[in-house]
Amino acid sequence: MTTTVAGAPAGSGGGARVARLAQRQGALVILVAAVLAATFAFDSFGTAGNLENIALQASFLAVVALGMTFVIMSGGIDLSVGSVFALGGVLAAWGSRYGTLAALLVPLVVCGAIGLVQGLVIARGGLPPFIVTLAGLLFARGLLLLISDEGARTYKVPPDSAFRELAQGSLLGVGYPVWIVLAAFGLGGLVLHRSSYGSTVLAIGGQEDAADLMGLPVLRTKVIAYTTCGVLAGFGGLLMASYTSSGVTVLGVGMELEVISAVVLGGTLLTGGAGTVLGSLVGVLLLQVIRNVINQVGSLNSNWQAVISGAILLVVVTAQRWLAKVEGR
Amino acid sequence: MSERLASRPRSRREPDRPRRVRIDPDWIRRNGVYVALALLLVINIAITDNFVSDATLRLQLIQVTPVLIVALGMALVIGTQGIDLSVGAVMALAAALIPLYIGYGTAVAITIAVLAGGISGALAGTLVARVGVQPIIATLGIMVAGRGVANLFGGEIKSIRDPGVVALGSGSLLGVPYVVVIAAVVAATTWFLVRRSTFGRQLVAIGGNKRAAELAGLPVRRVLLTTYVLCGLLAALAGVLLAARSQASDPTKVGLLVELSAITAVVLGGTPLSGGQVRIAGTIAGALLMQLITATLIFHDIPDSTAQIAQAVIVVAAVYVQLGRRKARS
């Protein structure tokens, strides 16, 4: 079933083709429907300011989701991204007092190193990604507490720092983070769908043993995927620190699950081997639109956001399974 | 001549000799969690003031009960090659329901709270067994939605003054706190289920090879569903006990990250994440080990940061040692 989803057009009838399309783009259909419904329901939703706000708010999660997409597509998972995101933010705020270069480099290097170690332990040691990255979650949070005096200290970005511009500046009325996300996803899409590295990731996710027998560089590909994921999670935190002008230590708790939800909503199979980078972006946007709509409905409190996000996740994956069965026939 | 004769039998016995001289590494791997637990106990007895006391022992046992009960349910799910991320949210939901229904009496409130866990488990089980959604995704969805539902029901922190619930949380039977007694009963029951019942044998068989179990005519769907329902019920029970002990329910805090502690306890105890095996005694030891690690770090005023880094290293090391065993076998 996985292989049919992966690409080969197995279904013969038009029904199967529709099913396949809906299965892959289910989140996009829901996203478009949600945006249309919200535009009609709330005058304040469809405004340029609000849509730009949604895009900006989504950009932090989107950066992290891009890295996660590669890891999940290789058949792995990374639970550490929430902690690494927070760590990246704190390191960036801490580094910003030593200049913009330090604010950029310190988090990327440290977070990349955490990803690299996780990748090495997973690929070389053969340990389950779930456990290794769970330990990574604890480790990154421990490191974060160590830097911030057990969470008692919040580092501020100096007011005159150019580092603030990174997330607070804008081009053509659209914030830099949105442009960064567009560029990152464009690049990510090219790498995943047009490069040999991308096809190796998909091959490993599809069937690791087969990829290994074919002589593909399984170890190296995995290590690169986890390192990239760490770098991007740290970059997301760095952007957040630039946006809020401080390194907030409590951020990122539970973020790993939000990111995984977004990637899965986007149609990437958690078993690996199939999915698109664009889908993950759609998944992130869908979660952000839900959040925004709930804010628009004054009478609903933010807890509804969790309920609706969880319900949509379950509905989409259930629909995906059913459609996969339809297609299989 | 006589020397050669004498040396021969000795060389024949040689394969046995390493056993006497050094400890079999495989034995350590199999029983690593017990060895680590014993070591940590000895270290604490040696260096921690007032460690050997009734109060310390009681407190440790009381504190480990919620995670232990959740971990026992988790062990069953992991045995089927599944995973349940929703347990923390289910704990919060159960705790949030108690103050809501306490007006109808203690028994009613507790029953509703525990049953809510069963319903959540049934939803997870249906998604996994019938629809074929991956366990991690199905329970992730329930986790996200469940915490939201708990917050909607529970709102902010509510205190629980009902004498029945308070007694459940702080009373004791022959000097042993009720919560510890309940945890012991749950542990014994799960052990019996896994080792002595048909259900347990089917569960392990499904975890070992689902396709083979199906071909052998085992009721795969029913067993999977039951397993998730049991896990949900136990998570809810843990939530009830936690609320009873703290005499309050705080839906945003109860059960936070419990899923990760429970999974770690199960894995430390020697149950492989790949399913097909359930080790109840190991799970208990795993939960106790985690509790003791946390307690030891607190006893010695080691800050949170160092404690979390230490836990991370311990988890990876434990799994690495276990993996060695699996490689040696295959």
In DSSP notation, B134-155 reads -HHHHHHHHHHHHHHHHHHHH-
CA torsion sign for B57, B60, B63, B68 is negative
Query: Out of A8-22, B26-40, B82-96, which region has the weakest mean confidence (pLDDT)?
Result: A8-22
What is the three-class DSSP state of A215?
Answer: coil
pLDDT of B181 above 90:
yes
Q: Quick one: which of B30, B38, B75, B29 has its CA closest to B288?
A: B38
Q: Quick one: which of B309, B60, B299 has its CA closest to A150?
A: B309
Chain B residues touching residue A131 (CB < 8 angstroms)? 264, 267, 273, 315-316, 319
B141 with A126: Cβ contact below 8 A: no
Q: How far apart are CA A48 and CA A239, in angstroms?
A: 22
B127 with A318: Cβ contact below 8 A: yes
What is the three-class DSSP state of B173?
Answer: strand
Rounded-to-10 torsion of CA A294, A66, A266, A29:
60
Count CB atoms within 10 A of the CB of residue A102.
16
Using the Cβ of A319 and the Cβ atoms of chain B, whether some distance falls under 8 Å is answered with: no
Q: How far apart are CA A151 and CA A184, in angstroms?
A: 31
DSSP-derived secondary structure for A129-191: HHHHHHHHHHHHHHHHHHHTTTTT--EE--TT-GGGHHHH-EETTEEHHHHHHHHHHHHHHHH
Q: Quick one: which of B139, B33, B75, B91 has its CA closest to B258?
A: B91
Residue-wise pLDDT tens digits, B268-286: 888 888 888 899 999 999 9
As a whole number, mean pLDDT of residues B44-72 equals 88
Q: Quick one: which of A110, A117, A66 has its CA closest to A88?
A: A110
How much is the mean pLDDT over chain B? 84
Q: Quick one: which of B241, B226, B191, B301 has its CA closest to B67?
A: B241
Q: How far apart are CA B99 and CA B158, in angstroms?
A: 7
A314 with B315: Cβ contact below 8 A: no
- B302: Cβ contacts below 8 Å, ≥ 6 apart: B310
Q: How far apart are CA A213 and CA A205, in angstroms?
A: 14
Backbone angles phi, psi at B161, to 5 degrees: -110, -5
Percent of chain B clearing pLDDT 90 (strictly above): 37
For the question of an ipTM over 0.90, the answer is no
Rounded-to-10 torsion of CA A190, A183, A57, A319:
-20
What is the three-class DSSP state of A319?
Answer: helix
Give the model's pLDDT for residue A203: 81
Give the model's pLDDT for residue A274: 76
Per-residue pLDDT of chain A (329 residues; tens, 9 = 90+): 333 344 444 444 566 666 666 666 677 878 888 888 888 888 777 787 888 888 888 899 999 999 999 898 888 889 889 889 999 999 988 888 888 888 888 999 999 999 999 999 888 887 888 888 888 888 888 888 888 877 777 788 777 777 777 777 778 877 888 888 889 888 988 888 888 888 888 888 777 778 878 777 888 888 999 999 999 999 999 998 888 888 777 777 778 888 888 888 887 777 767 778 888 888 899 888 888 887 777 666 777 877 887 888 888 778 777 776 766 55
Nearest CB to B304; choose among A128, A150, A318: A150
Strand A246-247 and strand A155-156: the pairing is antiparallel
How many residues are present in chain A?
329
H/E segment holding residue B248: strand B248-249
Q: How far apart are CA A58 and CA B76, in angstroms?
A: 38
Interface test with B, best of A79, A84, A303 (most B CBs within 10 A): A303
Token pair 């709102």 is at which residue? B155
Chain A residues touching residue B147 (CB < 8 angstroms)? 306
Chain B residues touching residue A309 (CB < 8 angstroms)? 144-145, 148
pLDDT of B79 above 50:
yes
Q: State the pLDDT confidence band at B29, using cuts at 50, 70 and 90.
A: low
Give the model's pLDDT for residue A320: 74
Q: Where are the alpha helices (DSSP H) in chain B?
A: 2-13, 17-21, 25-30, 32-47, 54-79, 87-101, 106-126, 135-154, 163-170, 178-196, 198-208, 210-215, 220-246, 258-268, 280-299, 304-329
Q: How far apart are CA A68 and CA A264, in angstroms?
A: 10
Contact (Cβ atoms closer than 8 angstroms) between residue A320 and residue A267: yes
Give the model's pLDDT for residue A21: 64
In the numeric block, which tokens belong to residue A328? 């299989």
Contact (Cβ atoms closer than 8 angstroms) between residue A283 and residue A265: yes
Q: How far apart are CA A315 and CA B86, in angstroms?
A: 17
Residue of B nearest to A254 (CA): B257
Query: Out of A270-279, B20-29, B45-54, B309-318, which region has the weakest mean confidence (pLDDT)?
Result: B20-29
Q: State the pLDDT confidence band at B236, using cuts at 50, 70 and 90.
A: very high
Give the model's pLDDT for residue B123: 94
Specify the higher pLDDT residue, B159 or A324. B159
* Alpha carbon distances (Å) from B292 to A289, B30, B259, B307: 44, 20, 18, 12
DSSP-derived secondary structure for B178-232: HHHHHHHHHHHHHHHHHHHSHHHHHHHHHHH-HHHHHHTT--HHHHHHHHHHHHH
Contact (Cβ atoms closer than 8 angstroms) between residue B291 and residue B66: no
Specify the higher pLDDT residue, B100 or B237. B237
Token pair 């949604």 is at which residue? A54
Give the model's pLDDT for residue A68: 92
Most confident of the following: A89-93, B188-192, B322-326: B188-192
Please report the beta strands in A190-287, taking only residues with DSSP state E, as ranges in sequence order.
Answer: 246-247
Using the Cβ of B324 and the Cβ atoms of chain A, whether some distance falls under 8 Å is answered with: no
Restricting to A residues 64-123, those with a Cβ less than 8 Å away from any Cβ of B are: 77, 121
How many residues are present in chain B?
330
Nearest CB to A128; choose among B140, B148, B273: B273
Contact (Cβ atoms closer than 8 angstroms) between residue A225 and residue A71: yes
Specify the higher pLDDT residue, A129 or B154. A129
Nearest CB to A307; choose among B137, B148, B267: B148
pLDDT of B43 above 80:
yes
Instruction: Give A186's strand partners.
Output: none
As a whole number, mean pLDDT of residues B170-196 equals 91
Q: State the pLDDT confidence band at B2, using cuts at 50, 70 and 90.
A: very low
Token pair 């957040």 is at which residue? A240
Strand B158-159 and strand A246-247: the pairing is unpaired
Instruction: Please classify residue B66 by burial: count the beta carbons closer than 10 Å to its beta carbon, then call 0-12 exposed, 13-18 middle and 19+ buried.
Output: buried
| Eight-state DSSP code of residue A261 | H
Chain B residues touching residue A151 (CB < 8 angstroms)? 304
- B216: Cβ contacts below 8 Å, ≥ 6 apart: B205
How far is C-alpha A77 from the chain's CA centre?
12
Nearest CB to B144; choose among A313, A322, A325: A313
* Angle (CA) A142 A143 A145, round 5°: 65
How far is C-alpha A259 from the chain's CA centre?
5
